[in-house]
Structure 1
Amino acid sequence: MFNQPNLKNCDELPAELATFWEILQVDYQEAMRRLHSTKLSVKSLGALPTQDFISSLESLHIQVVDEGDIEVVLTDDYLQDGLAELNQKALQNQRPWMLVKPVGTTIWIGPIFYPYQTGCWECLAQRLRTNRPVETFIQKQRGSSIPLITSVAALPSTWQTGLKLAATEIAKWIVREGEKTLAGTLITFDTISIKTENHILVRRPQCSCCGHGSNYNSKPLPLVLESRKKTFTLDGGHRCFTPEETLKKHEHHISRITGVVHSLNQKEHTQNGAIHSYYSGHNFAMMFDGLYFLRQTVRGKSGGKGKTDIQAKVSALCEAIERYSGIFQGDEIRHKASYSNLKNLAIHPNACMDFSETQYRNRREWNANSELNQKVPEPFDEDREMDWTPIWSLTHQDFKYVPTAYCYYGYPREQNPDCWANSNGAAAGNTKEEAIFQGFMELVERDSVALWWYNRVQRPLVDLDSFDDPYLRVVKEYYKTINREIWVLDITGDLNIPTFVALSRRTDRKPEDIVFGFGSHFDPKIAILRAITEANQVLPAVLKVDSDGSTQYRLNDRVALDWWQTATLENQPYLVPDTRVKPKVYSDYPYLGSEDVREDVLTCVKLAEQHGMEVLVLDQTRPDIGLNVVKVIVPGMRHFWKRLAPGRLYDVPVELGWLSEPLQEHQLNPIPMFL
């Protein structure tokens, strides 16, 4: 059937070949002309022979020469030594080239690199390293750049399949010259599942090879707020675009090979109409060198929630991008100085971390038995030179400086670090204004939680029926079907921004497996929904039970496990509504928002300033991503982790009338918040 055609007479081209090209809407004579006029060269990096591949190309009438119009490189690993040099030469000569990996259970074809049009190999390599944390860790420990070759599985049939698939795709690319299917696209074919996927390669403007390199980010720019009209206010927050629009714009970042979001999956126990929750990998927020931190990175996930499936999906995607954008990459603007030399331009890290003198004094004993997010750093040395990051003060309209180690995950750690980054105040948005507002709301939420949790004060019940939201009724009914009750407390703090905690406990047996979620927003309905959906997000961790009804926990955090197994409403009475006051209803809450996100941000700045606080914003948006990411810092506002320095934690509950006098440090809740 597949006899070789007479290359000198296209009229004698076998019908099956002519039909194939005509199915692709290309006249067979034109197809042959294009194939004959294109010259390819083939090269191998790694221990792969090229003759079978050359034969496959020639069987499709593609000319293989020593110096072709395009070079195709066979390799057993896309990080193989020698590819960086090939990339540099291709960029210098402005010559396209292509990669093929025909070995391993998953065959890789492409991308074709078009110099200065698509991403280059260095753009691809950056993403590959990010998505190979274990391999990258081992290479760092060895001090080697040689990749660990993992694509070793192959059969003679899969080898031939890989070569012939690649040859076919190259022929299609040549014949369909107007459609650059392989341009900036990597195609994978799984020989086990027979599944094909496309992975988009994004060109990185900051790439040191095909982009602007260090010149892209040479000096800090003032942050200018722009008017941003709201178009979506139903779920998750107030946005300038719908969740569907956001997903469409950024879903190409989901790829285990070329993406910054490894995967996006629906959580278990969420196919019930009440709970919508997704997780995306990886959560890089704890990324450091060291085996313990490697485990946290590999296992870590970002999460998304909402009252609809699409909102939860987009929330998980955006949180993963937010985490990625906050990773230290080495090209960030930094200034080397000491705190004492910067004087009033510098923000002391403990004004943001809020550890007490007692915590510093007892840190070694505490750290020996605490989870990572509860550890206490070394005392800050004000005379030590270090990297500082310029960060814009929305309050004073000028730059301040914060330690770079506090601003970015994975900043190279000292042996005994005095500060490190966390995700509090980090947020993503369709616009910078959106992200800033969301980041500030998170700070308000965590601050209010800390005031309530550590002071263990009872707060009023919230009447959910008064919010007249059908979704809230669906949630309440669902919780009943799984033998749980759910209620909401008002924990609004001194900024008077509606803030709530949603709580749920098991009612059919012990332990009570108490879960909770939090929410703050100018719109009290959104704040309630955020609290409820966050509780929903945590709920699957305690839903799986053995045949005897005992819980099989889905989280290995020691503090969380101890809480679920021992906490009850009886021994934690601050979880119980304060019956001395009437339940709060929807009409009790002011609506602080406007029609413009910019105006909402300015209101946040004004509220903070009225309470003697400064709003700082670090723009962490990465030019190759497109989703706006910021870290909002308000020195003095409290994280809900165990940070017990003097200040708001003690003073505000008295100012609000929650307590008659401030508690002493030893009187605070000994259980650290673990979310």
Structure 2
Amino acid sequence: MIDFDKKIGWHPKFTKKVISRNEIILIGENNDHLFTNDKHKRIINLANGSKKVSQFIDEIPSFIEKASFLYSIKTLIDKEILAPLQSEKETLYHLPKKTKDIEIHDDVTIYNLSHISSTLLQNISISKKNISLIFIDNYLDPRLHLINKKHVHSQRPYVLIKLTGSKPMIGPFLSMKKKQPCWKCLSNQLLQNRPILNFLLKKNVENYISHPIYLQNVEIDLKWVTTVINDTIKNENTCFEINLQNNIILKKHIVHNKPQCSICGDRLLLKKQLQSPVNLHSCLKKEKMDGGSRSMSPDETLEKLDKYISPITGVISGLSFISEKKQNTITIYKSVYFKTPSPQEIINNSSFRQISLGKGIVNDQSKVSALCESIERYAALYQGDEFYIKSAPDNLNKRYYLPSQLAKFSKNQYQDYIDNKLPSNILNHLVNIYDTTIPLHWTLTWSLTKEEFVYLPFNHCFSNTPFDHDKQYIHWSSNGCAAGNSIEEAIIQGFYELIERDASAIWWYNKIERPLIDLSTIQEGKVFKIHETLKDEWDYWALDITNDFDIPTIAAIAQHKKTGVFCFGFGCHLNIETACTRALTELCQLIPVREQKNAPFDFNAIEEEQFLKGNGNKKKLSSYQNNESKDIKNDIIWGINKAKTLGFELLVTNYSRPDLPIKTVKVTIPGLCFIWPQLGNERLYNLPIKLGWSKQKLQECELNEMGLYV
């Protein structure tokens, strides 16, 4: 309930930081919040505590606005973001302890950085000797930096223990053995999963921001705590989230070693990797894998990735399904990871949380697809240990590709960027003309075609970089980025994506009428779930949009039976049947999210035109040549050779992070078309004529006006 006669302020568990006139950040023990003046001006003014709620409400003219504002206040009070001033709760929160107590008992060193009484800690009995117990209020306490370095140097193991706050935890036990994590490994991931806090630290160039500590009025059962500590020592690298009122373990969070850790590892690992050739090895496929060319089954991959899902210590914060679970239908999963924007970026509440969707006929494949897409994009985030140099292109000692060779915008699009009159969701994809005398940041990529190194703009290969000056000339996109159990598996997925999007762009922007695919001959087991998912509400069909690469590429189109609105998905694979199922599962993936707010592509704006229905001809699957082999390496070589005959070069940037269980790459083929409108690419206009699909070359103004931002 809201007490109208009281003043309201921020909950006492938060530290308030004002980062600009328009932005306030609240830092808490477990959660951080951003409030901006454009969306939360009244809330910010109320939380200043200068007026009672009733006085503030009286100043709002509209009844609807009053009701909406009261609902917002109640929601924020329920979430313990706002609280009445002079609340009894304030007495439960204390500023962090500044002192550090160190005691030694029988080869067990106790560091007390917490509010727990040091006298109480003397009674802890640990079975393991030559160990340190470090009691903390905050896992990010900067005093842990020197303590950790000391223990890494002496190879003395230790346990972190947090018995204060709203989320007490015991662990991890850090053994200090080789290839095992240290506190720096842990703190890096903790900060990655606190992107608002991380952003604030980077922006203000601080190494720590304290917050009030919640001290529960609970008598600690030291015997039970000691038992959990001893169990933690038997379970290396695990944090146990505990409930001290009921003496139960709630959750486990796995801590992972970072081989590239600046304290316990080799900070240069990724630099060395980016300067090493990409060598292909034999990589046999699993037979009849949902999702295409995979060297491991979905359940095997899921087992590897499951340990990396945790909102506290994981690379991926969570995994959940978004489509309604029905028998014999496809379930779409989403995974979430966090991104910390660069300090110069203009932020809002959508700046920090990133969502990836998965596709697949079986549940495990859909889960793996969502997880791998998150890892593929998480790994591409700038972390500071990448190889790059800053130079004007003509001063580089190897071949290079310019921004204009990687993203071919037209003169009109360059002018649109300069005029700055288009909506921001379109302008954000455009760039300025690059003057080659201006230095850019570059990284190395490996040419599988010519077996030599080539320079690419760093911002083409990595996202969220601090090189804001470069961003006016080149943007990162996920096009060609892929993850796999092996480097070969990742490369083939990235390659297929480039071919798929090249073909999709040429079909879409030219509105080419292409043949239908006879789906009746696909194995029933592969399409049964797809049909069950779509049949009640959607008519659906598939078009062959394969171009000069001769790799089957499919557009799966659906039209709602009642409303007539459209949706579509794309798929590409050397095997025509797999290409079809990939397109159809992507269609199923996009239907649940097709009407999401602020999406850059509006499916409801698609008008019914003949090119969406096809040219009336129907092709049987048996008419397609199957160039797929049993070895992914051979499929890649086939793709390299095909690209070469068409005058294209296949480049691979291996940005696999040493601490992740799967490989990640960005495949680049300069000169291909992209689904986002890059209307200066002559291939977009010439290929339909070359292949006999059109008789007359279109002008830029005649192309499909809807940018394919999917």
Q: TM-score, normalised by structure 1?
A: 0.84
Counterpart Cα distance in 1 of 2:249 and 2:351: 27
Counterpart Cα distance in 2 of 1:633 and 1:439: 8
Paired position in structure 1 for 2:101: none
Task: Check whether the contact 2:270–2:657 (CA below 8 A) recurs between aligned residues.
Answer: no
Query: How big is the shift at 1:480?
Result: 2.6
SS of the equivalent of 1:306 reads: coil
Paired position in structure 1 for 2:614: 577
Quick one: which of 170, 180, 183 aligns to 2:236?
A: 183
Paired position in structure 2 for 1:3: none
**Paired letter, 1:121:** W
Paired position in structure 2 for 1:105: 166
Question: What RMSD in Å do the two structures reach over aligned CA positions?
Answer: 2.6
Query: How big is the shift at 1:502?
Result: 1.0
| 2:153 pairs with 1:85 | no
SS of the equivalent of 1:492 reads: coil
**Paired letter, 1:45:** L
Query: How big is the shift at 1:191?
Result: 7.1
**Paired letter, 1:637:** L
Counterpart Cα distance in 1 of 2:156 and 2:557: 61
Counterpart Cα distance in 1 of 2:509 and 2:690: 16
Counterpart Cα distance in 2 of 1:242 and 1:486: 29
Quick one: which of 682, 685, 689 aligns to 1:650?
A: 685
* CA offset digits 1:199-231 (Å, max 9, x no partner): 221111111100122266336111111111112
Decide whether aligned partners of structure 1 residues 381 and 597 sit closer, same or farther in structure 2, where only a CA change above 3 A counts.
same
Paired position in structure 2 for 1:381: 435
| 2:300 pairs with 1:245 | yes
SS of the equivalent of 1:156 reads: coil
Task: Check whether the contact 1:518–1:535 (CA below 8 A) recurs between aligned residues.
Answer: yes
Which has more strand, going by share of residues? 2
**Paired letter, 1:185:** T
Counterpart Cα distance in 1 of 2:244 and 2:558: 46
Paired position in structure 2 for 1:501: 555
Counterpart Cα distance in 2 of 1:107 and 1:499: 52
**Structure 1: runs of 5+ lacking an equivalent:** 1-35, 174-179, 543-552
Counterpart Cα distance in 1 of 2:291 and 2:427: 26
SS of the equivalent of 2:459 reads: helix
Quick one: which of 595, 598, 603 aligns to 1:556?
A: 598
| 2:661 pairs with 1:626 | yes
* CA offset digits 1:373-421 (Å, max 9, x no partner): 8521222231222321110001110000001111101111325631121
Counterpart Cα distance in 2 of 1:403 and 1:448: 25
**Paired letter, 1:184:** N
Query: How big is the shift at 1:472?
Result: 1.9
What does 1:158-177 correspond to in 2, within 5 Å?
A: 160=220, 165-172=224-231
Decide whether aligned partners of structure 1 residues 52 and 526 sit closer, same or farther in structure 2, where only a CA change above 3 A counts.
farther
Query: How big is the shift at 1:83?
Result: 0.9
Quick one: which of 207, 211, 216 aligns to 1:149?
A: 211
Task: Check whether the contact 2:538–2:561 (CA below 8 A) recurs between aligned residues.
Answer: yes
Paired position in structure 1 for 2:83: none
**Paired letter, 2:226:** A
Task: Check whether the contact 1:236–1:311 (CA below 8 A) recurs between aligned residues.
Answer: yes
SS of the equivalent of 2:535 reads: helix
SS of the equivalent of 2:173 reads: strand
Decide whether aligned partners of structure 1 residues 588 and 73 sit closer, same or farther in structure 2, where only a CA change above 3 A counts.
same
Query: How big is the shift at 1:40?
Result: 2.4
Quick one: which of 587, 601, 619 aligns to 1:535?
A: 587
Decide whether aligned partners of structure 1 residues 88 and 248 sit closer, same or farther in structure 2, where only a CA change above 3 A counts.
same
Task: Check whether the contact 1:288–1:409 (CA below 8 A) recurs between aligned residues.
Answer: no
**Paired letter, 1:583:** K
Task: Check whether the contact 1:487–1:503 (CA below 8 A) recurs between aligned residues.
Answer: yes
Task: Check whether the contact 1:100–1:166 (CA below 8 A) recurs between aligned residues.
Answer: no
Paired position in structure 2 for 1:672: 707
| 2:567 pairs with 1:567 | no
**Paired letter, 1:528:** C
Decide whether aligned partners of structure 1 residues 651 and 43 sit closer, same or farther in structure 2, where only a CA change above 3 A counts.
same
Paired position in structure 2 for 1:119: 181
SS of the equivalent of 1:136 reads: helix
**Paired letter, 2:606:** A
| 2:337 pairs with 1:282 | yes
* More off after superposition, 301-310 vs 500-509: 500-509
Query: How big is the shift at 1:352?
Result: 1.3
* More off after superposition, 518-527 vs 291-300: 291-300
Counterpart Cα distance in 2 of 1:427 and 1:197: 31
**Paired letter, 1:187:** F
Task: Check whether the contact 1:433–1:597 (CA below 8 A) recurs between aligned residues.
Answer: yes
Query: How big is the shift at 1:171?
Result: 3.5
Query: How big is the shift at 1:290?
Result: 5.4
**Paired letter, 2:305:** H
* CA offset digits 1:621-656 (Å, max 9, x no partner): 111113111100000011101111132111111111
Paired position in structure 2 for 1:326: 380
**Paired letter, 2:630:** E
Paired position in structure 2 for 1:177: none
Paired position in structure 1 for 2:135: 74
| 2:311 pairs with 1:256 | yes
Decide whether aligned partners of structure 1 residues 147 and 230 sit closer, same or farther in structure 2, where only a CA change above 3 A counts.
same
Quick one: which of 51, 76, 81 aligns to 2:118?
A: 51
Decide whether aligned partners of structure 1 residues 215 and 594 sit closer, same or farther in structure 2, where only a CA change above 3 A counts.
closer
Decide whether aligned partners of structure 1 residues 609 and 171 sit closer, same or farther in structure 2, where only a CA change above 3 A counts.
closer
**Paired letter, 1:554:** Q
Decide whether aligned partners of structure 1 residues 38 and 486 sit closer, same or farther in structure 2, where only a CA change above 3 A counts.
farther
Quick one: which of 444, 447, 453 aligns to 1:399?
A: 453
**Paired letter, 1:186:** C
Paired position in structure 2 for 1:464: 519
Query: How big is the shift at 1:237?
Result: 1.0
Decide whether aligned partners of structure 1 residues 167 and 643 sit closer, same or farther in structure 2, where only a CA change above 3 A counts.
same
* CA offset digits 1:235-292 (Å, max 9, x no partner): 10111111111112232111112211111112232434222211111275x9544565
Counterpart Cα distance in 2 of 1:228 and 1:373: 42
Task: Check whether the contact 1:489–1:577 (CA below 8 A) recurs between aligned residues.
Answer: yes
Counterpart Cα distance in 2 of 1:591 and 1:190: 58
Counterpart Cα distance in 1 of 2:588 and 2:514: 21
* More off after superposition, 408-417 vs 241-250: 408-417
Paired position in structure 2 for 1:523: 575
Task: Check whether the contact 1:43–1:50 (CA below 8 A) recurs between aligned residues.
Answer: no
**Paired letter, 1:50:** S
Paired position in structure 1 for 2:6: none
